[in-house]
Homo-oligomer: A and B are copies of this chain.
Amino acid sequence: MAPQKPRQRDAAQTRARILAAAIREFTARGFAGARLDAVAQRGKVTKGLIFHYFRTKESLYVAALERMYERLRQRQNQIALAGLGPEEGIRQLAIETFRSFREEPQIVAMMNEENLQKGRHVRRSAMVPSLYNPLIADISRLIGEGARGGVFRADVDPVGFYVALSGATYFYCSNRHTLGAVFGRDLFSAAQIEEYEKLVADMVIAYLKA
């Protein structure tokens, strides 16, 4: 299992370092605001090398975007809903979704950027839709179980439901700074997070039970 071609391994590692640096820069400043000089500095490589691995700023951005979606997929696959009853499963889903956005602010930032650009790159990617399929399938299953058990209503659109759940938690993270300024609170204090987590979980379950 030892590396056979150390040169290649260095190359892969260099590439990865550039990509990591690019993600940090793109998420901090957006596509237009990102500076390849800064990426080079952050990644401790020369600017020329960036162009050697990624041909343009744009394709570096696309690579960063895809890396982020991969990470999101990993996150979502880790959300273990199996074995939980409908209500507990949904509650767990709400909590973990919220946690994902909090702990991977890059995902939030890259999505914002993509939407500023009207989804130009995502639209082309075949990978992204498939990413959400298992999740929606899980949600459908939980809602179906609940409905059959008589605890949940039966007319729920799983996609809309997921959008509302995501929105409430995503917004809390993506608009952290403006909301913080407007309401004079630090939204990322432990107490605020705990309180909001309960609110959202209660809300989505109340809806399903209504």
Residues of chain A having any CB pair with chain B under 8 Å: 29-33, 109, 111-116, 118-119, 122-123, 125, 128-129, 131-132, 157, 159-161, 163-164, 166-172, 174-185, 195-196, 199-200, 202-207, 209-210
Q: Is the CB of B32 within 8 A of A181?
A: no
Q: Is the CB of B170 within 8 A of A129?
A: no
Q: Which residue of B lies closest to A109 (CB)?
A: B116
Q: Which residues of B contact A118 (CB under 8 A)?
A: 177
Complex Cα distance, B132 from A167, in Å, reads 20
Complex Cα distance, B160 from A125, in Å, reads 35
Interface of chain A, main secondary structure: helix
Q: Tell me which of B113, B176, B181 contacts A129 (CB under 8 A).
A: B181
Complex Cα distance, B123 from A207, in Å, reads 35
Complex Cα distance, B129 from A96, in Å, reads 31
Complex Cα distance, B204 from A146, in Å, reads 20
Q: Is the CB of A129 within 8 A of B183?
A: yes
Q: Is the CB of B30 within 8 A of A178?
A: no
6 examples of A-B residue contacts, CB within 8 angstroms: A111-B175, A113-B116, A122-B177, A163-B196, A166-B171, A209-B210
Q: Is the CB of B112 within 8 A of A174?
A: yes
CB-CB under 8 A for A129 and B184, given A114-B177, A118-B177: yes
Nearest CB of B to A87, in Å: 12
Q: Is the CB of B163 within 8 A of A172?
A: yes
Nearest CB of B to A194, in Å: 11
Known: A29-B32, A119-B181, A170-B175. 13 other contacts (CB 8 A): A29-B116, A33-B116, A112-B112, A119-B177, A122-B177, A128-B182, A157-B195, A164-B199, A164-B203, A167-B168, A167-B175, A202-B207, A203-B207
